[in-house]
Amino acid sequence: MADQRYEKLAKVLVRYSTNLKKGEKVLIEHTDAPDDMIQAFIREIYAVGGIPLLEQKTQRIQRELFKCATEEQIKLIADCELYRMKKVKAWIGIRGLVNAKELSDVPTDKMKLYESLWLKPVHLEQRVRHTKWVILRVPTASMAQMAKMSTDAFEDFYFDVCTGVDWKKASKAMDPLVNLMNKTDKVQIKGPGTDLKFSIKGIPAIKCDGHLNMPDLEVFTAPVRNSIEGVIQYNAPSTNRGFTYENVRFVFKKGKIVEATANNSQKLKEILDTDEGARHIGEFALGLHPLIKQPMDDILFDEKINGSFHFTPGNAYEDEADNGNRSAIHWDLVCIQTPEYGGGEIYFDGKLIRKDGRFVIDSLKGLNPEKLVV
């Protein structure tokens, strides 16, 4: 059964997400993924005439590598990976999750080396900007536990959200939101603990319709860098550098985070002190997936929660929705506005467009969950 579902998943990612063509080289970078899943992808790549390259990693080995890493070593690894990334047309990242806390005891200074010298040049600057890329998870017992589901129930959920959407139809339904955001100047967001104002004027809105993440369905832009004023209270957990942050709260003045608290405020401030851009926001996005309704502390799922938005400290997407912010981090933090999570309102140029997670203007009602379910 799993093999058949892997085959269906591989078809979506190879033929739709990356739209791989004959002769194109694609790197499959897989971490803690089962062999039969990777085999399904290799077969599908060959079926369309592509050329697969493979990189196999495990998070436990990565932890060992990071613990005593030096600047020279990380630069060497990054140089090698950057060379290979420049040789491929597409990249598929398949990430298993055996232990969500595997990196929790890696020293902060070592993770900073990785983020600034490896992650940033190889992925944020080369892969994101110059390849057809897509990231997905592996359905594991660990993820099922995070989602508070049985393993079998989570596998069903996983394959439903990845392959149970008519991606072309969903893509078309997102166009009115893209058009509206491209015309919008002022945004205001209200909710429990949140009263935030900022501008998105002149920064493009981009729809994510299954070509970059799987699962997908969000529309993102970026706030004008220095326009953000007010306070935001996130209500979804988020693991970063191996620690799970809860009740993250930011206060903004002239676009900069001037106050930051969470269940470990000191660790939070260490992330925000990574570089100057880490205290500014690089992305604002609305989550739209009809079948993802609650957080599981996995950002590929959580940022797509229907009725949510994410407001991201760190690097902006330079070639898509750029507000000029540069950072070694890009940390998607999620706030859910459905009634179960306290509700909330989003206004564009003073007009209410979404209340308690549901779009209320006619042009956007096609994005409400009952309209998107196949």
Q: What is the pLDDT of residues 81-137, one digit of tens each?
A: 999 999 999 999 999 988 878 988 999 999 999 999 999 999 999 999 999 999 999
Residues 172 and 154 in one domain: no
Residues 33 and 114 in one domain: yes
Residues 29 and 155 in one domain: yes
Q: What is the pLDDT of residues 162-210, one digit of tens each?
A: 988 888 888 999 999 999 999 999 999 999 999 999 999 999 999 999 9
Supply the pLDDT for residue 200. Answer: 98
Q: What is the pLDDT of residues 137-168, one digit of tens each?
A: 999 888 898 888 999 999 999 999 998 888 88
**Closest listed residue to residue 12, CA positions, set 213, 299, 174:** 213
Residues 274 and 326 in one domain: yes
Residues 263 and 304 in one domain: yes
Residues 184 and 294 in one domain: yes
Q: Within 10 A of 171 (CB to CB), how many other CB atoms are there?
A: 17
pLDDT at 1 over 70: no
DSSP 308-339: EEEEEEB--BTTTB--S---S-B---EEE-SG
Domain that holds residue 107: 2-163
pLDDT grade, residue 370 (50/70/90)? confident
Give pTM, 2 decimals: 0.80
Chosen domain end from 163, 179, 198 = 163
Average pLDDT over residues 359-373: 90
pLDDT grade, residue 2 (50/70/90)? low
Specify which residues 326 forms β-bridges with.
Answer: none
Alpha-carbon torsion, ordered 82, 84, 88, 92, to 10 deg: -80
pLDDT grade, residue 300 (50/70/90)? confident
Chosen domain end from 117, 137, 163 = 163
Residues 188 and 266 in one domain: yes
Residues 193 and 299 in one domain: yes
Q: What is the pLDDT of residues 280-291, one digit of tens each?
A: 999 999 999 999
Chosen domain end from 112, 134, 163 = 163
Packing angle between helix 151-163 and helix 2-11, nearest 10 degrees? 30
Residues 147 and 171 in one domain: no
Residues 207 and 311 in one domain: yes
**Closest listed residue to residue 189, CA positions, set 293, 307, 329, 26:** 307
Number of domains in the chain: 2
What mean pLDDT is reported for the chain? 94
Indicate the helix (H) or strand (E) that contains 77. helix 71-85
CATH (domain of 97): 3.40.1830.10
Q: What is the pLDDT of residues 211-256, one digit of tens each?
A: 888 999 999 999 999 999 999 999 999 999 889 999 999 999 999 9
Residues 258 and 318 in one domain: yes
Residues 141 and 173 in one domain: no
